[in-house]
Every structure is written in C-alpha cells, then in structure tokens.
Amino acid sequence: MLSNISYTSLEGVFFLVLMIFFGKAFRENWKMKNTVVSNSWLFKSWVFGLLSSISFFIIVLVPMKN
C-alpha cells in the first residue's frame, strides 16, 4: 500500500515552498511570544511547526518519481 507513494519534481518544489513558508511563520510567531498577551502564538507556532515538519519529512523520506 505505501510502496506506491511518490511525488513529482513539481510537487517537491511545492513541498519545499510550504516548508519555507511555514518555517518562517513558525519563527515569527515564536519571536512574538513576549509581545502577545494571549497564548494564540503558542497554537499558531504548533500548527506552523507541524506543517513545516511534515513537509520536510515528506521531502526527505518519500521517494521522487523518475
């Protein structure tokens, strides 16, 4: 079932852009933790960090199509 999973080079570029965008959003939210009164930065940092990590692990662990 999982042996059929792969992605094209265009999808790889898409995952790379997602990883960069969500990683930057994670860092910006992490830096705002001292300026925001509520804990909304914490939830946003978790969401952006998880999405960035997922896209990274897809790029690293899932093979590309030839």
Indicate whether 11 belongs to any domain.
no
Indicate whether 1 belongs to any domain.
no
Indicate whether 66 belongs to any domain.
no
- Cα separation, 14 vs 31, whole angstroms: 26
Indicate whether 50 belongs to any domain.
yes
- The CA–CA distances, whole Å, from 51 to 20, 36, 65, 66 equal 10, 22, 23, 26
Q: Does the global pTM surpass 0.85?
A: no
Indicate whether 54 belongs to any domain.
yes
Condensed to tens digits (0 to 9), the pLDDT of residues 6-65 reads 999 999 999 999 999 999 999 998 888 888 777 788 888 999 999 999 999 999 999 998
Indicate whether 55 belongs to any domain.
yes
What is the per-residue pLDDT for 47? Answer: 94
Q: Residue length, the chain?
A: 66
Domain total of the chain: 1
What is the per-residue pLDDT for 1? Answer: 60
- Cα separation, 47 vs 18, whole angstroms: 13
What is the per-residue pLDDT for 30? Answer: 87
What is the per-residue pLDDT for 31? Answer: 87
